[in-house]
Amino acid sequence: MSDTASDCGDCTEPRTAVTEPEVEALVRGICFKTGPPRTLGVEVEWLVHELRLPQLPVTPERLEAAYSALRTVPLRSALTVEPGGQLELSSSPAASLMECIGSVSEDLDTVRAVLRRDGLGLVGIGHDPWHPPRRFLHEPRYDAMERCLDRTGPAGRRMMCTSASVQVCLDAGHEEPGPLGLGRRWWLAHQLGAVLVAAFANSPLVGRGPTGWRSTRQLIWMEIGAGRAGGPRLDAAPRDAWTDLVLDAPVMCIRRDSGPWDVPERLTFREWIRSGSPRPPTREDLDYHVSTLFPPVRPRGHLELRMIDAQPGDDGWIVPLAVTTALFDDPEAAETAYRAVKPLAERAQGLPAPHNPLWIDAARHGLSDPELQEASLVCFAAALEALPRLGATAGVMDAVRAFFDRYVVRGRCPADDLLDRVRGTDSRPHGKDIRT
């Protein structure tokens, strides 16, 4: 949500109109940068609430004061603010799992200390269970986004203002075939993605009541629609499929130097290039257009996995980061994960994620779905075997094993704990530091 207009690369010629062949070449060359997997990153989003009682609303003035204070402290991660006032930390590319965990953990300690002075804290839930959507940021980008998304219903405002996630960023992989090749990793991200949705679902409530979905956040993304939040087809090469999606996706808005931005209806980027109206699109417009697409797996040079709900506890985000990294970057674990999720592909019926039966079942049922639980059991076991090879500490291993025992083995996910609390049974354990 806090993406800048440079998501597709540096805007070296922002005022030069682009042709269709130029756009195809730019998307193919910039959005997929192949090579041996060497770096990773994570983006953690948080709801910001009253420390003493999260159910109480926080005024915009208090949020602005807190963020002003945060901008004065040094952080290694990039700190941004989402439209509803959610806080996001985006790590720098890290050379190892523990480097990534260490740097973000230190930054989170700093952020929490600053917020605590203002009586505020961070809450890890995929969707705010207490408060309705309320815009904190009022900028032309978000004004236009709201107008555009309102055309498909209320889901867009909820996505903008009341959702939070853990996004894992991984290298695209080798150009050549194999467990660490681009083609395999692209396919795996879209199939394993359903398992990650189910295992880490943590947003079953809206207005303090159950929605019937373990991941209401994922439901919201589905309701926004395939044109804006859907993935590409998987029966084509990754570059071909993504290039077609970018060109045929609707333009969210046409920016102006001053005043409100235009919000066209049913204008794809391909049509904009061909018509040149109301003005020809530029390289800068392409970069911005890519930043307004929200598929569950987004190529940005690397692969950005966007399907995981924000997790409970101060350090809950570390578990999906560690598990996902192990299943993609360790060749043996990647091969095991591929075999484990391959039978699930039939349930997708050849439809792009997340608008297919597999992803819908994952968001609705979590790991109470027997096939998703079976795949999760295999994948988590493979991740636990791989993590020592990736240099994971005993604390990280213990956290993944605890999650495996508490949730995966029992066919549960964090959302089930929230539902237990609504029903009068709080089964959550006390959290602990898992960095050491």
Which pLDDT tens digit goes with each residue over 106-125?
999 999 999 999 999 999 99
Residue of 124, 125, 128, 112 whose CA lies nearest to 79: 112
Q: What is the pLDDT of residue 258?
A: 83
In angstroms, what is the C-alpha Rg of the chain? 21
Is the predicted pLDDT of residue 319 greater than 50, yes or no?
yes
- Residue 404 per-residue DSSP state: I
Is the predicted pLDDT of residue 14 greater than 60, yes or no?
no
User: Nearest 5°: phi and psi at 298?
Assistant: -115, 120
Is the predicted pLDDT of residue 175 greater than 60, yes or no?
yes
Cβ 166 vs Cβ 321: under 8 Å: yes
Average pLDDT over residues 210-218: 98
- Alpha-carbon span 86 to 63, nearest angstrom: 10
Average pLDDT over residues 28-40: 92
Average pLDDT over residues 144-160: 96
CA distances from 27 to 74, 293, 300 (A): 34, 13, 9
For the chain, percent of residues with pLDDT exceeding 70: 94
Q: Give me the residues paired with residue 41 across strands.
A: 169
**Rounded to 5, what percent of the chain is helix, strand, coil?**
50, 15, 40
* Confidence band of 12 (pLDDT split at 50, 70, 90): very low
Is the predicted pLDDT of residue 8 greater than 80, yes or no?
no
Is the predicted pLDDT of residue 427 greater than 70, yes or no?
no
Average pLDDT over residues 419-429: 75
Q: What is the pLDDT of residue 54?
A: 84
Is the predicted pLDDT of residue 435 greater than 80, yes or no?
no
* Confidence band of 352 (pLDDT split at 50, 70, 90): very high
| pLDDT per position as a tens digit, 244-303 | 999 999 999 999 888 889 999 999 999 999 999 999 999 999 999 999 999 999 999 999
* Confidence band of 105 (pLDDT split at 50, 70, 90): very high
When comparing pLDDT for 176 and 368, which is higher? Answer: 368
Rama region for 384: left / alpha / beta (φ>0; ψ in -120 to 50; rest) = alpha
Q: What is the pLDDT of residue 426?
A: 63
Q: Give me the residues paired with residue 121 across strands.
A: 49
- Alpha-carbon span 149 to 309, nearest angstrom: 21
Is the predicted pLDDT of residue 2 greater than 80, yes or no?
no
Give the residue carrying structure tokens 């879209």: 190
- Alpha-carbon span 432 to 50, nearest angstrom: 21
- Alpha-carbon span 342 to 175, nearest angstrom: 21
Is the predicted pLDDT of residue 304 greater than 60, yes or no?
yes
Determine how β-strand 87-90 pairs with β-strand 40-50.
antiparallel
- Alpha-carbon span 260 to 219, nearest angstrom: 30
Length reported for the chain: 436
- Alpha-carbon span 390 to 325, nearest angstrom: 9
* Confidence band of 431 (pLDDT split at 50, 70, 90): very low
Cβ 249 vs Cβ 228: under 8 Å: yes
Average pLDDT over residues 379-399: 98
Which runs of consecutive H residues, i.e. helices, occur in 93-237? 97-117, 140-149, 155-162, 182-199, 216-224, 226-229
* Confidence band of 57 (pLDDT split at 50, 70, 90): confident
User: Nearest 5°: phi and psi at 181?
Assistant: -85, 155
Q: What is the pLDDT of residue 424?
A: 82
* Confidence band of 168 (pLDDT split at 50, 70, 90): very high
**pLDDT averaged over the chain?**
93
CA distances from 251 to 86, 148, 181 (A): 25, 9, 31
Cβ 245 vs Cβ 237: under 8 Å: no
